[in-house]
Amino acid sequence: MLSLGNCKGKANRRPHIVLVVSDDQGWNDVSWHNPEVLTPNMDKLAKRGVRLENHYVHPQCTPSRGAILTGKYSHRLGLQFAAILPNEAKFLPASATLLPEKLKELGYVTHMTGKWHLGDCNKNLLPTSRGFDSFTGLLRGAEDYFTRRTFGVYDFWENGTVYTPQEGSYNTDLFTQRAVEIIGKNNPKTSPLFLYMPYTTPHFPLQVPKRFIDMYPNVKNPARRAYLGMVSSLDEGVGTIADALEKSGHMDNTVFIFLSDNGGDPNFGGSNLPLRGNKGSLWDGGSKSLGFIYSPRFLKHRGCLHKGMMHAVDWFPTILDIAGFNKDKKRNKFCHIDGVSQWKYLQRCRGSGRNEFVYQIDDYVAKSAAIRVGDYKMIVGDPRVAAFSFFPNGTILIKPIDPNSTDIRLFNLKNDPTESNNLASRFPNKVKKMMIRLDELRKDSLPTELPVLEANEIGSPNNIVSTEWCSV
């Protein structure tokens, strides 16, 4: 499907930027890490671009999405611990400046199609109120891919209006079709485009057209087979978008970015092997993220592995750097962010602008934290995934397993990437220094609360997600 052209000449124009984010795609769930997985389109782009082999995010989707769009760690946004549940009056702070808002200052058109999951209890929190010219997709974290319902409530939108696609259509295809439509209507020579595509695929529920499941006849586990089918449906979408960029004349002036929002969930078919842990945990399997960047024009070195340290918060300044924001000294003024531009390091495929990052700092609910400094990673508290409790009346409670744990774990990830050998007792001075740094980083934490999904879903009388029940 995918054909990749070569750049002919150098146009002095702001580059188009396409940012694709997959949902719960594990480290072992792509062809360049696992030949069992059929992702030829992503593989072609990655191998002709720069593969990110030391790229990290937060352990869950809401925290990672907030970090990508603001350049701030989740604990500084009050989004640590867990994703936003359907009836939580919880959201990305209204005071935060988002990436599309800054890009619009440079003349970009900004479009989003896919999953928002950064707050929906007030219309002022929706994507079109936060810098996007258009939005097509769901506001919450997951839904039936065919009926577009979550906990019995309908959730599919076009801008601020409920949208009902053709019956039986598949969400992944709808997002791809909308992206192709946006690209087709945009003038590649006069209108710089920012397209943000946070797919829900391959997040549960495990639903995909049969032709994708049939691609994996030798996979015996039904959950794994359906999950891999979803990954391949995502790959088809990536190929379709790349073809649309090529055919419309955008690709030669485009930077195409792909990453996953957190690790895979083995309970729903995902795999992070050989890493330890999974989505939601403080192990690397929860936060080490797939990623690549492709551009026929803007990368000095292609077909290489970038091993420089990078975190989700870096995309905010990196994308602004790509767009030319930092070339205007008058514009190079941000409120305090945690991200650093990695653009020059990505272009030459080596080095990094950082030597440390935060996995998570949660002083309010889980009472746990994890940071990395150089080759060393320290986990304080319980690193396991939070527990879901289901009550007879339908209420769901998400709570940490052991918030009273004071255990300290120290790993040298260069020598021990599977986090098997706890070095804390051998290197007390290293632990002491990292604890001091952790205390410095946690000073700006905003409070968060224990998520509870009540039995009575907050929605409109027509069983549609309500966007008018909280104040900001």
Q: Give the residue numbers marked as catalytic.
A: 61, 117
CA separation for the pair 66, 58 (Å, rounded): 10
CA separation for the pair 134, 156 (Å, rounded): 14
C-beta atoms surrounding 461 within 10 Å: 6
- Both tokens assigned to 67: 């970090």
H or E element: which one contains 257?
A: strand 254-260
Please state, in angstroms and as integers, the Cα–Cα distance from residue 158 to each residue in 84, 108, 134, 137, 309, following that order.
21, 20, 8, 7, 37
Strands 291-294 and 50-52: antiparallel
Where are the extended beta strands (E) located within 90-205?
Answer: 109-115, 134-138, 149-150, 153-154, 157-158, 161-162, 193-198
H or E element: which one contains 292?
A: strand 291-294
The alpha carbons of the chain give a radius of gyration, in whole angstroms, of 21
CA separation for the pair 149, 144 (Å, rounded): 5
In sequence order, which ranges of 22-79 are alpha helices (DSSP H)?
A: 40-47, 61-70
Strands 161-162 and 157-158: antiparallel
Quick one: 95 exposed, middle or buried, by C-beta within 10 A (0-12, 13-18, 19+)?
exposed
AA letter at 10: K
CA separation for the pair 179, 245 (Å, rounded): 10
Cis link prior to 40 (omega < 30° from 0)?
A: no
AA letter at 350: R
